[in-house]
Chains A and B, each alone.
Chain A
């Protein structure tokens, strides 16, 4: 702004200097031209003046001669002749003999009166020559020259003077300007301005009173006219210029030296100064042109430099603008500029569309639209808070939550407003700093804390529950073991105690399995293994599994598969069975003796992508649940009544496991229950329908002890187990099946034993995984690396309490041939060993 002012001031100053210099030059040259022209004009009009003086002087000189002639004239006839002769030679129009009273007589004998006014006395009494304009009624005025003479008589007319009326043209001729011709006007005026004689050019105005004319039509002031009047009165010369009818004239006045006559010359300035003015204008233009050229060059350089600088600045500004745009587009902050006077939005960062789901135009049209997107919990009137904000100050508003108009996502902002004054334009700059990430992180931390606290609580609850549930069978095992020891001799009692110990052990194992399953599910380690499955087979398997329990409780168990049309599907059979069994066993558990349990399977129509929703319904006439509990039925360790109260054993994890597996299968489970009347679980699972009929599995061979013993008879087995008790159990079982069992306490010992068994090679090695000194995996690796390949390829079966899938994979990876989970299930052990021997 200041710079512009500076440039503007400089231009003004330079212009003023130029104009002043130009005007000075013009004035100076004009003065020179005027002086030169004035001198020239005075000379030119002086010639006209001289001619007039000569003519008038000559006339009077002649008239004096004529007077002498009339004095001596012999007769009127002679006089007539003389006058006619004079007329011819002197070019006057009429000759008048004048009487004392102003009466006249001409040579034609015409008489009459010439109103000479004061001139009559001048002529007759003062005996002075006169020259005036006279007129007869109804005729134009004419110039009359009179001269007194000796009193005489002509045709009985007594005269004392005579006069002639001159040919106007001849007088006018004397005023003709030889230099300027018709461009010049020449007047002979009286002292009061009356025009006595004029010689005006063509198309010029008739002037009756010259002073009156310039007073009425020229630009001369009263004072200037008064000066001219005084000069005329004082018979002074003068030259000046004036403007009349939008044209400039030179005015020249010179006394004629007769009576009060003054010769006036008028010539248009453009005529007089034609060449000089051209020269003046040319030099002025050349001067101005040169200066202008220099100025233009300087200006051009300055402008060029200025433009370059401006361009650089412009580029800078554009870069900054780009930077700002990029910043505003890439940050989650929103920037808004509001004009203080109009309270209209002049700028909105483009990212508002992405961040708040409202367009720039909408905000520009109505700032309040932002307020409308604010969460209803917040009252965010930004405009209303600006009133008290003074220039240069800033305010920070409370954090506010907005809802993205398009995504309905919440966005948190901290709003800062700055009242800025840029070149007297006051605007509010609103910076909406996006705090969503921070807020979300905070919320997540809060949730995590909550979850951690809940997990801790759940862990405590879990430990409490598990402690109770573990302690219960453990109590039975320990208690009956003690009783068996004390009653060791009573075989019947001991058998009873051992059965109860076995039962409690199985329960404990089931509990541990459930806990492990739940742990696997929650840790995301469970993966579905989908294969072609025949649902009818699944139902049959389930029926087989639960049949014992059904019988024990004398329950009525119905299976309905009427709605099942496509029983071959792709699914994870194990987990499907687990889900149904968990629910079914639960139903059996909570259904009193003689009650009714049913399982129905149906399917919805097959969709285009060859899938169908299968609905499994498990219904019982059991004790049912309260509505409140039904909501928590799928949460871990939730039981409406503890086993202590209900007398029903359970980990409280079965339903949670079922629910998690259903979720894993993208299915749903719904509970319809009423306390005291029963419960119905409805499971919906979508399976891909398999039209091909799966190959029927080969019928399993039943484990026959005797035949099995034959296979295993004499087989040397190395049992590697660090736990003495487990070693003992396993050793006894193996021996029972005909194995020759050698033991090792850890992997290192096992490796040594294998190395030393070159002569009597082990048929199989049962290897515990977790052992001191050397674990099973390392031991297996070392065995496999033995130089004696026969030894190195000794079948090794893992036997571990780590029963997860990854454990199996780890065993396979290190070269083991089979996998048996602990506690040892004899069937599983035998079938696994048999499988190993059969494959060799």
Chain B
């Protein structure tokens, strides 16, 4: 009898266990961690993905637009499931290649046009990166000025150079480019010589370069790149580029353009449409010109590349879900959400490029299929900046430029084991809970103590990964904090602190809101806050407390605000700007966080314990 009872009991227990396990599996969401190259992806894409995949628990983390950053995560075994990167070339990704999923034999890759996707095939035939829809880059022209000076829109390089001459003669800046940035230098350099780079020899070199192997650097093809650099030299000369252009930012150039002090501007198709719509100026997009109209090219580049961690293959369910997520991202709707309304080119379908009047001058290029995709390896950005600026400064001839460019390509920095400057004894995971992100809280507490302020508020989790246990190099410390983080300090009373939090959290009546996702909630140190989750990425601030008590609204506090740098902030929060009341008080001595980290690591020995700064009410 007792035996029977035992067996029955055992059976009941096993059944119960299986039932509970089954039930727990039923309700368990598949967790997918996705690193976004920029928070702009949160505008439309990430909320849409969450809507499309209710059974998936997405964790979106803003990382660095840098493959080395992902190499670093990979080295710590923390490579996310999906990650995105804008600055990319095939040879950049070679060190990470083994950790990535080969998607060459997936249905998803089959949807891409062969001619485009072939650029992403490595020497082994694998395709590990997929390009998101392309943005176009070219010359934004003030057509009104062209008309004013009876200049037809150029059809070839000669006409372009002539127009530049006319404008300069009339004290109007012919063509302004923000050569302060690497991408501006790279795009101008490659754009003006797209024909050379798209020639057979140019393509051969490009394929060779893309498949560069570690230890065997591929230098420039002399014939191709001599021609490219010659064209760039001519371009600089014909556009009257000078040292001022090296210092000029896009926004400065844009202001001059809007003031009719500049006839042409390097910019994206989206910039062109924006400028056309927000001003009375008739803006048109011009291609990069060749000798004849047959040689004009439009420069394009993917908004970002997407790669998938190879480990997902081990979990069949997760693999299939990720494939579905990618298919959704590369669907027409997905690409529209990724573009957030911008004009883009699809690598696997039709685009609306021709339908916009701003792009009329590009139609011929589009018909001729003269779409050049930039070479955007990390080194190409760095060297382009270096060489272009030197060429602008006329520091060397085309030959010197070629040699220097080639030398920099061939003499890559030998990886020397970087110095460990900091050892962390405890790990704080990047874990979004009801009480906040532990890694962000740890870094925020460390920063606040270092800065000696009462309160620290970051616009969002400004760390890019968990706080790892072990040694940190300076670069890794920098990577830990978001790339565009900027520090501002202010003296605020409790009331204003509360208003700042309300600005960051509360949904506006017009649905504008700095926080677009629960992963993007502010991180605080010194104060705690309670919010109400209204669903669909909408929140409302309930209370702000200091050590558990309501914050004294009249008391003055020293506050550190950590957000994006001003320029990006304007872009990111343009639809929900910082209230004047706050911005007036925030001291203008914006300081990039890099220096603070440099200072910080010299003084502290470890990242401090995280605190529970957040309370979410359902």
B236-269 interface mask toward A, CB cutoff 8 Å, 1 = contact, 0 = none? 0000000000000000000000000000000000
CB of B203 within 8 A of CB of A137, answer no
CB of A117 within 8 A of CB of B203, answer yes
**Contact with A207, one of B107, B108, B199, B367 (Cβ below 8 angstroms):** B107
Contacts of A136 in B (CB 8 A): 367, 369
Residues 172-221 of B at the A interface (beta carbon under 8 Å): 195, 198-200, 203-204, 207
B286 within 8 Å of A by Cβ?
no
B171 within 8 Å of A by Cβ?
no
CB of A209 within 8 A of CB of B114, answer no
A111 within 8 Å of B by Cβ?
yes
B345 within 8 Å of A by Cβ?
yes
A132 within 8 Å of B by Cβ?
yes
CB of A212 within 8 A of CB of B109, answer yes
Give the complex CA separation of A139 and B115 in angstroms: 12
Give the complex CA separation of A125 and B203 in angstroms: 13
A211 within 8 Å of B by Cβ?
yes
Contacts of A141 in B (CB 8 A): 113-114
**Contact with B115, one of A115, A125, A208, A216 (Cβ below 8 angstroms):** A115
B158 within 8 Å of A by Cβ?
no
- Scoring A120, A195, A207 by chain B CB atoms within 10 A of each residue's CB, the highest score goes to A120
CB of A216 within 8 A of CB of B107, answer yes
Contacts of B354 in A (CB 8 A): 138
Closest B residue to A209 by CB, please name it.
Answer: B110
**Contact with A112, one of B105, B199, B353, B368 (Cβ below 8 angstroms):** B368
Give chain B's interface secondary structure class: helix
Stretch at the interface among A96-104, A320-328, A434-442: A96-104
A194 within 8 Å of B by Cβ?
yes
B470 within 8 Å of A by Cβ?
no
Give the complex CA separation of A209 and B198 in angstroms: 28
Closest A residue to B292 by CB, please name it.
Answer: A111
B362-382 interface mask toward A, CB cutoff 8 Å, 1 = contact, 0 = none? 000011111100000000000
CB of B200 within 8 A of CB of A124, answer yes
B294 within 8 Å of A by Cβ?
yes
A148 within 8 Å of B by Cβ?
no
CB of B314 to closest CB in A, whole Å = 12
CB of A112 within 8 A of CB of B109, answer no
CB of B198 within 8 A of CB of A113, answer yes
A9-35 interface mask toward B, CB cutoff 8 Å, 1 = contact, 0 = none? 000000000000000000000000000
Contacts of B107 in A (CB 8 A): 207-209, 212-213, 216
**Contact with B114, one of A113, A125, A133 (Cβ below 8 angstroms):** A133
CB of B104 to closest CB in A, whole Å = 5
CB of A117 within 8 A of CB of B200, answer no
B350 within 8 Å of A by Cβ?
yes
CB of A705 to closest CB in B, whole Å = 108
A135 within 8 Å of B by Cβ?
yes
Give the complex CA separation of A255 and B506 in angstroms: 63
A382 within 8 Å of B by Cβ?
no
CB of A233 to closest CB in B, whole Å = 10
A121 within 8 Å of B by Cβ?
yes
Closest B residue to A222 by CB, please name it.
Answer: B313
* A: contact size bracket: 35 or more
Contacts of A216 in B (CB 8 A): 106-107, 320, 323
Closest B residue to A134 by CB, please name it.
Answer: B115
A341 within 8 Å of B by Cβ?
yes
CB of A212 within 8 A of CB of B369, answer no
CB of B108 within 8 A of CB of A118, answer no
Contacts of B105 in A (CB 8 A): 192-193, 209, 211-212, 215
Contacts of B366 in A (CB 8 A): 137-138
CB of A102 within 8 A of CB of B200, answer yes
A744 within 8 Å of B by Cβ?
no
* B: contact size bracket: 35 or more
Give the complex CA separation of A207 and B106 in angstroms: 10
Give the complex CA separation of A121 and B200 in angstroms: 7
CB of B119 within 8 A of CB of A117, answer yes
Contacts of A100 in B (CB 8 A): 199-200
**Contact with B199, one of A101, A110, A118, A215 (Cβ below 8 angstroms):** A101
Given known contacts A208-B109, A209-B107, A216-B320, A112 and B207 CB-to-CB distance under 8 angstroms:
no
Contacts of B111 in A (CB 8 A): 208
- Scoring B109, B204, B368 by chain A CB atoms within 10 A of each residue's CB, the highest score goes to B368
Given known contacts A135-B113, A209-B110, A212-B105, A120 and B118 CB-to-CB distance under 8 angstroms:
no
CB of A103 within 8 A of CB of B294, answer yes
A114 within 8 Å of B by Cβ?
yes
**Contact with A192, one of B104, B108, B368 (Cβ below 8 angstroms):** B104
CB of B207 within 8 A of CB of A118, answer yes
Contacts of A194 in B (CB 8 A): 109-110, 114
CB of A192 within 8 A of CB of B125, answer yes
A66-106 interface mask toward B, CB cutoff 8 Å, 1 = contact, 0 = none? 00000000000000000000000000000000001111000
Closest A residue to B354 by CB, please name it.
Answer: A138
A212-223 interface mask toward B, CB cutoff 8 Å, 1 = contact, 0 = none? 110110000000
Give the complex CA separation of A138 and B204 in angstroms: 25
Contacts of B116 in A (CB 8 A): 115
B351 within 8 Å of A by Cβ?
yes
CB of B200 within 8 A of CB of A101, answer yes
CB of B114 within 8 A of CB of A132, answer yes
Contacts of A133 in B (CB 8 A): 113-115
B1 within 8 Å of A by Cβ?
yes
Given known contacts A101-B200, A112-B368, A115-B115, A137 and B345 CB-to-CB distance under 8 angstroms:
yes
Given known contacts A117-B207, A212-B107, A341 and B1 CB-to-CB distance under 8 angstroms:
yes
Contacts of A120 in B (CB 8 A): 200, 203
Give the complex CA separation of A121 and B106 in angstroms: 27
Give the complex CA separation of A124 and B200 in angstroms: 9
CB of B353 to closest CB in A, whole Å = 7
CB of B202 to closest CB in A, whole Å = 8
- Scoring B106, B108, B115, B370 by chain A CB atoms within 10 A of each residue's CB, the highest score goes to B115
CB of B369 within 8 A of CB of A114, answer yes
Contacts of B371 in A (CB 8 A): 137
Closest B residue to A229 by CB, please name it.
Answer: B105
CB of B118 within 8 A of CB of A118, answer yes
Give the complex CA separation of A112 and B294 in angstroms: 7
CB of A195 within 8 A of CB of B198, answer no
CB of A113 within 8 A of CB of B370, answer yes
Contacts of B320 in A (CB 8 A): 216
**Contact with A102, one of B113, B118, B198 (Cβ below 8 angstroms):** B198
Residues 282-326 of B at the A interface (beta carbon under 8 Å): 294, 320, 323
CB of A101 within 8 A of CB of B113, answer no
CB of B609 to closest CB in A, whole Å = 45
CB of B204 within 8 A of CB of A113, answer no
Give the complex CA separation of A137 and B1 in angstroms: 80
- Scoring B109, B119, B199, B200 by chain A CB atoms within 10 A of each residue's CB, the highest score goes to B200
**Contact with A195, one of B110, B113, B323 (Cβ below 8 angstroms):** B110
Give the complex CA separation of A193 and B115 in angstroms: 16
Contacts of A193 in B (CB 8 A): 104-105, 110
Give the complex CA separation of A357 and B173 in angstroms: 126
Give the complex CA separation of A103 and B345 in angstroms: 21
Closest B residue to A102 by CB, please name it.
Answer: B200
Contacts of A132 in B (CB 8 A): 114
Closest A residue to B1 by CB, please name it.
Answer: A341
CB of A212 within 8 A of CB of B113, answer no
CB of A208 within 8 A of CB of B200, answer no
Give the complex CA separation of A276 and B412 in angstroms: 67
CB of B366 to closest CB in A, whole Å = 5
CB of A134 within 8 A of CB of B114, answer yes
CB of A212 within 8 A of CB of B110, answer yes
Contacts of A114 in B (CB 8 A): 369
CB of B204 within 8 A of CB of A137, answer no
Contacts of A135 in B (CB 8 A): 113-115
Give the complex CA separation of A794 and B408 in angstroms: 185
Could you show 5 A-B contacts with beta carbons less than 8 Å apart? A102-B199, A118-B207, A133-B114, A194-B109, A194-B114
Q: In the complex, given contacts A112-B370, A120-B203, A216-B320, what are 7 additional A-B residue pairs having Cβ atoms less than 8 angstroms apart?
A: A102-B200, A102-B203, A135-B114, A137-B366, A138-B354, A212-B107, A341-B1
Counting from the closest, the 3 A-B pairs by CB-CB distance are A208-B110, A112-B368, A209-B110
